[in-house]
Amino acid sequence: MNILLIGKTGQLGSSILAEQTTHRIYAPDRAELDIESKESYERVIAEFHPDVVVNTAAFHNVPQCEVEPLRAFAVNCQSVRDLALACKKADTLLVTFSTDYVFGGERKTPYREDDRTRPLQMYGISRLAGELSALATAPQHAVVIRTCGLYGLSGASSKGGNFVDKRIADAQSSSEMEMGCDQVVSPTYTDDLAQAVLKLIEHPQLVPGIYHLVNEGECTWFEFTQAIYELLNINVDLRPVDRGGMSGEMRRPLYSALANTKARDLGILLPHWRDALQLYLNIKYRDKLVK
């Protein structure tokens, strides 16, 4: 299978590049393929003839999307729509990604793929618009994967690293810390997600549409941080704080855990978030783990 990967330097893109071993994969630099340049990916698709285009590029700095809504829509919606059209013309499958932030947080059990969306901020709105535009433009060629709370070995450059690494760095500079206990999420290790994405692409019963792929289980960011410090035996006075889902004037969903309903039906299973966190720490912080 020929796979064209867009966004190879991001957390998820780099994990997909590292995990795939059986396919021919082409992952051009941004100088050759820019998600905001329709001409560049039309040219690359015509030259490489991929069976699947995997798009991991996005404008996912949530607060910055409030400041730059036009760019949020340009990257997260218009570019996805144009990419879907290019894949449809080339008879190529598009796999693109979305977020738990398309939901409003009113549930108390994990969201399924067909649950009602209700984004609360510009990031979620632009990502939902990208979902709808891809599925409307190329209904027989588009797979949208929603995921949540990503952390990976490469970190996220637009966010200054990932959540796990930043909490470990925080503990090195302060013995006291507050962490939100108001949001319930499904934090997801990108290596696990990458393996699941590749299994989904390869599955003979894959049909276009929306899929959820996250590490199993749910927790608050406070509970996730607690687990990080416990596994690394870091002594920090960690205090829960309830911000009501607010980040300044911006709202985040209070509950956005996802259920891998459709993937599970295909036999694609992801580990529990605690096991995923343990694996990540085993790889990156082996010397600091509790014996």
Q: Which residues are catalytic?
A: 123
Amino acid (1-letter code) at residue 115: D
Helix segments in the chain, DSSP class H: 11-19, 38-48, 62-67, 69-73, 79-89, 122-137, 163-173, 190-202, 221-232, 261-265, 273-284
CB 76 within 8 A of CB 127: yes
Radius of gyration of the chain (CA): 19
Q: How far is CA 36 from CA 27, 57, 81, 82, 269, in A?
A: 16, 10, 11, 9, 33
- Which residues on neighbouring strands pair with residue 5, listed in sequence order? 54
- 83-120 CB burial, b ≥16 within 10 A, e <16: bbbbbbebebbbbbbbbbbbbbbebeebbebebebebb
